[in-house]
Amino acid sequence: MRRRRLGLVKAGVFLICLLPLSILAWDAVAGNLGVNPIEAVTRRLGDWAIRFLIIALAVTPVRRLTGWGEVARYRRMLGLFAFFYAILHVFSYVGLDHFFAWGDIWADIVKRRYITVGLLAVLLLLPLAVTSTAGMVRRLGGRRWRLLHRLVYPAGMLAVLHFYMLVKADWREPLLYGAIVGALLGYRVVNALYTRPRPVRA
């Protein structure tokens, strides 16, 4: 009974995580993406990539502060959704914005610093997504897996920096995300200093 309930909740969370993509697809079909639909798609996917990253980062602090253990079950899914939206975001830039013109894309990476920073963030997220399975946790061993997965913090900071660098006037949103990532990182550092490590749950 409990397993069934957990399965249902997990399916519900999964569907909720797909909502931003469904709304985006709906808006695209309905022509609700404004005068520059490609830019709107790239931006919206980027927004959700960073939001899911922050939500995934918040899972452990929420569990520790509230004692709500069940929330940890969704950490991997939320992290993978952050990666999923980040990959779609990059794909919209590479495929829709630049039509896979690799020469232009490379020139952009070198010339526009915020693109370089975004690329670094994706490169840091990649090994985390690849090693997110229970099998990889076993293969790497809990300690090494945990160390590797600390990369999520620099990835989060680079994603915030990427956003901050591309904004031209209104810095409120990137600054808010930066403050949240900073607070979550601060919480983890303080916690690591005062508590013993726990076993890894994949």
CB of residue 139 to ligand HEM, shortest distance in Å:
26
What angle is formed at CA 72 by the lines to CA 6 and CA 158, rounded to 5 degrees? 135
CB of residue 134 to ligand HEM, shortest distance in Å:
24
Using CB under 6 A, list all residues that contact ligand HEM.
Answer: 39, 42-43, 46-47, 49-50, 53, 86, 89-90, 93, 115, 118-119, 121-122, 159, 162-163, 166
Q: Is 85 exposed, middle or buried (0-12, 13-18, 19+ CB in 10 A)?
A: buried
Side chain identity, residue 112: R
Task: Please tell me what DSSP assigns to residue 32.
Answer: -
- Cβ proximity to ligand HEM, 55 vs 137, nearer residue: 55
- Cβ proximity to ligand HEM, 68 vs 100, nearer residue: 100
- Distance, C-alpha 145 to centroid of its chain: 18
- Cβ proximity to ligand HEM, 46 vs 137, nearer residue: 46
Q: Is 59 exposed, middle or buried (0-12, 13-18, 19+ CB in 10 A)?
A: buried
Q: Count CB atoms within 10 A of the CB of residue 34.
A: 9
CB of residue 118 to ligand HEM, shortest distance in Å:
3
CB of residue 109 to ligand HEM, shortest distance in Å:
7
- Cβ proximity to ligand HEM, 112 vs 143, nearer residue: 112
